[in-house]
Structure 1
Amino acid sequence: MHQPSPVPLVSPVVYKGSQGGQRVRAIHHPFPQSTIRDLCKAHRDYGRDSPYFRGLLRSDLDAAVVIPADLKQLFSCLLDSTEFKLWVAAWRQQLREALPSLLRDPETVVDDNGNPLTLEHLMGEGRWADPTDQTTDIPIKALQVTREHAVSTFFGMVPDGPVVPYYKIVQGAKESFTKFVGRLTQAIEVQVTEVAPILVTSSRHEPYRLQLTEALHLRTADWTFLSINTKEQGAWPVQGKELVIIGDSSIDERPTKKLNWLTNKPVWVEQWPLSKPKLKALEELVKEQLAKGHIVETDSPWNSPVFVIQKPGKDKWRLLQDLCQINNVIEDMGSLQPGMPSPTMLPQNWQLDVIDIKDCFFQIPLHPDDAPRFAFSVPTINREAPRRRYHWRVLPQGMKNSPVICQWYVASLLSPVRAAAGQAIIYHYMDDVLVCAPNDDMLSHVLGLTVDALVAAGFELQEEKVQWMLPWKYLGLEIRKRTIVPQKLAIKTKELSSPRVLTPEAEKALEKVQDAMSKRQAHRFDPELPFKFIIMGKLPHLHGMIFQWRNIPKKDREGNDPLSIIEWAFLSHQRSKRMTRPQELVAELIRKARFRIRELAGCDFECIHIPIGLRLGQISKAMLEHLLQENEALQFALDSFTGQISIHRPAHKIFNSEVKFVLSLKEVRSRRPLKALTVFTDASGRSHKSVLTWKDPQTQQWEADIAEVEGSPQVAELAAVVRAFERFPEPFNLVTDSAYVAGVVSRADQAILQEVSNIALYDLLSKLVRLVSHREQPYFVMHTRSHTDLPGFITEGNRKADALAAPAEMAPLPNIFMQAKLSHQLFHQNAPGLVRRFHLTWEQARAIVAVCPSCSQQAVPTLHAGVNPRGLRSCEVWQTDVTHFPQFGRQKYIHVSVDTFSGAMFASAHTGEKAGDAIKHLIHAFSFMGILRELKTDNGPAYKSRELRSFLQQWGVEHKTGILHSPTGQAMVERTHGTIKRVLHQQQRVPQDRVTIGLNQPIVRHFGASSLFGVNERPQVMVRDPGSGGTEGPHDLVTWGHGYACMSTPTGPKWIPAKLLKRMLYKLVSTPHSPTINHLVASLEDRREEEELDQEEVLEGAPDDKEGRNPDEEEHRLGYPMQHH
């Protein structure tokens, strides 16, 4: 083995000898922080090229044996992140060139362990990444070469920026122009060694101030000046005056998603006033966004209010827009990334970098058609000037589809990078991008592709937020080489609007949460190991762990943990069932874990550890099959699983430190009836009796245990079951007619209860679970149907229990009708059901249903087949339709309305059959026949229109339509069409007169039966007494007919012959068309010859009105043909 030469005992590597002094042992001591601090201060104050800094650096490095890890630590402090990467790359190249000479030197051809010297030795990478291995294995001469090349690389780097600022480079008074240009060129060349061949910018809109010349570094004197022509793009655009640049340019259109809008009607939400400080901040932010091209001036008819909020702890403000109303009219986009990527699937010891995109939304364009809809206004104080209005050209914050579009846009940029990345892994979630690769070279390559793709699209990357070194912070987690832990959380109470005081219990709870989060950690996975799953915890809080296990013997571990925790699996705190068996909890955990591992790794577990308790021996295939057969949830959870199932835990303290959960295969409930005592249970909600009955096997007598329990019948029967388990510890069969109770008993063994609001029910369930779980003897539970006439012992026992639970008034009744009535009170059967069950007649069944108050309220009124609903009085139900009469020319559309009670009809001729024509007809009909309550029409477009529906609502008319394509629903008005056409063919007048002269005999009944046309005061009459010859009265005349009259007397209405009316005092106080008077006149005219004297007496005393007109004569001058109305 190569023996190192003696060296001074200096830091950071110190060589100590053994007691004999023949062998030395290297011990690593990192650079003192004071030394690094002094070097950084000298570098900052005096510069890299200052003699003081150069001398200080060389003296510190020459006086020590420095390993590569110390060199990286030192120069990472002296350089920024970008310079450090450049330094590492240049250092690597120099060491690669120096490696052949080291391999030819006998002192450096191999390390201290006999391994050939490699570049990984010199760089401190791979197997020699540990500082201890670098100290003990790398030869001292190789370390000295490594140090010299690191220092030479550092001083050979080009400084960032010119030595002299550009604005200080001026041409002297006697300096020639060529010399001045040479100095300026030298200052420019110091910036970068190579000129980028292609420069991409996202500024395609005005202003055309493209920052091309700022980023384009020129080295040659052959400058070709060309100009951009945004209208005629080509390989070599023509010269113009807009902007002079170097080289050629083109515009690359980036696709973007177009939003789907639920309406095109503009949404305008008025801007609320802002205070002066906030208005000033808003104007500054708008000016900033306008300069960046994120917003433009607009005259859009859309508007949403904007406001500003101050960033916590800073003097900066943030611009926000209230887009609630806009979001309501935007169609949702489906989620592209329903969750965050898990860093546990990053392979161990792979290198990674994290990139944070600055203002990601503001770099993604909106579709030009959508942009004007995201407009806002900048108000002014006291409206002293017109407000300025703008709209966004990029994704606005607050729009509900902005996250989806952002994910889609960035993913489209990274898709070609992923295709070229090879083994590298790229995680993208919103504006965070993580790049992971197995080595630095691949990481640098993929990172460069990623950065180029993002920068080319116009994204701005924050240099200070690009994470190069561990620990990497990503999505609230700290990622290290092997482990992943949550970031430290701090509750900031400075910005809370109200004080909060924590109780001691709450403080303890928070301490537990903080302690658990600090101790819990996950690991990055090993690609060479399979995944496993184990169930842990104790009932009812079971949980599981997805892990990897490296088979390392205990004696060879030496601090290497064989366990790698990938992820934890937990059950839902709120369970869907009141009683859950342990097998179901285990099945739910397995189902969740298998679903999750497919999401993470796209594979299944190699082994699932299920802690199954066995008394003796090992689990057999038959026992496992029996467990699966007895539990449906486990069958679904382990469906198509091809791995192993183990009942043993791996040998690790995390699996053995807590209380172990064991799934018991023992089951007390028998699947078959037992040859033992049979117990019957029943309960009644009306009598509140909880009954337990059985047949004594010795005396062969039925015995019972009856108790009163408040609550539902299920609760009462559950109480009976609990008493049965308390009373009979020996084997027995339980028979119940409650399916709920039978299901509860079958699931009670070792079940987990969920708290319920019913305290009595929870107590009974708790007792049942405790009794069944601690029971030693088997039992069998069976459900049977009640109230059956089947023979056998089960039916007999159930009938006994039912009779004991029934109240006294529920005893069997000999009267079948009373039984049917009581049955209907409980179950509310319909009439056919009562006929089939109790063999009643249809009349008896209908009578029982009709007198039931519950059924009568819910019953649907029935009508005889073929009968159209008719009104019970005038103006209740009309039928309206349209018929055509070609002889009328343009007025050939005849609208007809018929009163279904009186048969009165009204028709009018119109030039069309649209909604407007129907409304005109109804207005005429209202003026003639009165306002109706319900209108029935067919399903024509005019009658289904919104205009007619609004008109009828204004008049308070209910509108109904008949069955589609069924004219029988309008039978009355259809028959009226034929009647009208037959009459019209017999007349030769103008259309409206011909329509008006219809068969209107029912008009008398129409007006006579309506209370709307009744008189408020009736005429008074004198009645002649045929016996005494005197007269009585005056009395109010109620009605008058052919030879009869009815008058109102103090003793009630009195009918008398019309000839006994001696004299009438005619007072016309009703409307000019009083139906009662018209009826009277019509009747007298019909018998003019018989009652001429009586009519003269009636009209003799009728006074004239104030204008000297006789009311009766006015009544006969009606302009309608229906004067008999």
Structure 2
Amino acid sequence: MVNNQMQPMGALQPGFPNLNMIPKDHKLLVVDIKDCFFSIPLAPADRQRFAFTLPVLNNAQPTERYQWVVLPQGMRNSPTLCQHFVNLALKPFRQRHLEVICCHYMDDILVAAQDISMELLKDLTSALTDFGLCIAPDKVQQTLPMLYLGHKLTQQAAIPVVPQLSFPARLRLVDLQQLLGHLNWIKNYLNLPTSTLSPLFSALQGHKLPGEVIPVTEEMLQALQQVNALLRDRMVDRIDTLHNVQLSLAIFSTPLLPTAILYSQKSAAPSGVSIVEWIHLPHTPPRNIYSSPAAVMDLPAKVLAKMFKIPIAQARDIVSQCSTCSKARTMIPFDAVNPRGTSPLAVWQMDVTHTPLLAPFSKVHLTVDTSSGFIWATPLKGETARHVIQHTLRCFAVMGKPQSIKTDNGPAYISSQFSSFCDLWNVKLIHGLPFNSTGQAIVERAHLTFKTLLSKQLGGRNAPSAEIPSIVHTVLFTLNHLLYPHNREYTPAEIHFRKAEPLARPLVSYRQLPDPTWHGPVPLISWGRGYAAVDLDGRPTWLPARCVRPWRASASEVKAATSHTSPSLADVAFLQP
């Protein structure tokens, strides 16, 4: 109960001291504090918080109630308080002997000096006694080799004491985790690059239960054999002296990740250097720092050329060298022949698709504005009317409120609950023809585009649950703010949210098959690859692109035809076949 209410204080020391930084010409003394936890008193005001009751068999007599008066073992902050209390006890000793190296971790103390006399030991004992701490007489070590914090101290080096490592008959996840814990502890003393241990760390992937059996591969056996071979050799040295010591850092380009050594050149070692510590990067970095959008998302050549002001040929070379970007081209879902809105927020298409990459949020509700191409997606656990309404509200918050929403005939979309929701928001709800997927072609293409970019972003792996929102938002940012649809000079976000006055509409001639007669002139509303929309009696009429062509007339006819509309554009060369 106390641990549940107690705020963790955290460790006061981030790790063990490097014992190879103790010079070879120093003598050593190792002591251990006897019953350290039970020698640290609790504050009288806090003792009542650590009261406990001893039960009695069959309630035959009254129970006895006690309270801790010393630091209890098992309390969350007991190790931190122990470190702090012992440090307070050693502080006067350190101040009186500035030339002495005094290391301590919990209740283990190491003293190193040019000469360790009985007076120094008595002074250390007196400093601890003043705080109620006592040295265990049977734990005092004054001759080499010594044992301290799992290390064996010799005249030449301090090395960890590790038994021969091996796999059990049935390797469980907890066994592999314990083995890797030992390796993480000893790798700073060995020439053990991260690439050597990569098969062992990679075996952790895909396993969650502690008792889950992990198959042992040949690569794992070879890695463990190499570790055992390295344990037979000493690969570190204690520094010679603290006087004018110069430590250097050397970095080597090893496979997978670089390796470094901390060494001293003033050494009598046969190699001419004394290696104090091996430095290896973790197999999985704790965090990634990105300085470029290209490191976060996959950018096509046109975006690279525009963002970094480089030639398009150079941008294509960069994209072709990327193993992810060159796998598949990202298609922008704005070229299908499908009725669409003539302005942002006119017509939305909405649908739901499934992707196991985002499990358990595998039901991705997706909405696309049929005019601007702006896409918004919400990964959810279901596809009921409640989930559809939740996704629609998020779209309203990001994209605005549309005039109409077009969906298929799924149960959630034709439900009375969603219909009432649309009526409440004054949004017209339109359903396509049953079993006709072409009516939802724009959003179906958006599904493919979203999944393609999501697969690139994840590299084929499943997304961790905690990272799903950030991954989905990264994909949406790429689609809406970085990619340029076919024959457009602006991104979907720029088209969707821009407030500039629309350009004047050019005049065109048109024909409606099977009638071969050309009519016109009429204003052109929209045009794309394979489709066009013209203004007939104030309403958009969608036609195949081959049924629309520039209207050629005299200047007087153009002026008369456009007196009730916006001035026509003089340059309509983009409609030329």
- Report the TM-score when normalising by structure 1: 0.25
Higher relative contact order by CA 8 Å / sep ≥ 6: 1 or 2?
2
Calculate the TM-score normalised by the size of structure 2: 0.46
